[in-house]
Amino acid sequence: MALKSTIFKAELSISDMDRPYYGSHALTIARHPSENDARMMVRVLAFACEASETLAFTRGLDEPDEPDLWDKDLTGEIVHWIDLGQPDETRLKRAAARARRVTVFTYQGASAREWWKSIAGKAGKLRNVTIYNVHDDAVEALAGMAERAMRLTVTIQDGEIWVSSDDRNVQLTLDALQRADA
The amino acid at residue 84 is L
pLDDT score, position 5: 84
pLDDT tens for the chain, 182 residues long, are: 567 889 999 999 999 999 999 999 999 999 988 889 999 999 999 999 999 999 999 976 566 789 999 999 999 999 999 999 999 999 999 999 999 999 999 998 889 999 999 999 989 899 999 999 999 999 999 999 999 999 999 999 999 999 999 889 999 999 999 999 86
Instruction: Judge if pTM exceeds 0.85.
Output: yes
- With respect to residue 1, please indicate whether it lies within any of the assigned structural domains: no
Q: In terms of residue numbers, what domain contains 163?
A: 6-178
160-164 sheet: strands from edge to edge: 21-31, 6-16, 149-157, 160-164, 169-178, 129-134, 99-106, 78-84, 69-72, 55-57
CATH number for the domain including 124? 3.10.640.10
- With respect to residue 94, please indicate whether it lies within any of the assigned structural domains: yes
- With respect to residue 133, please indicate whether it lies within any of the assigned structural domains: yes
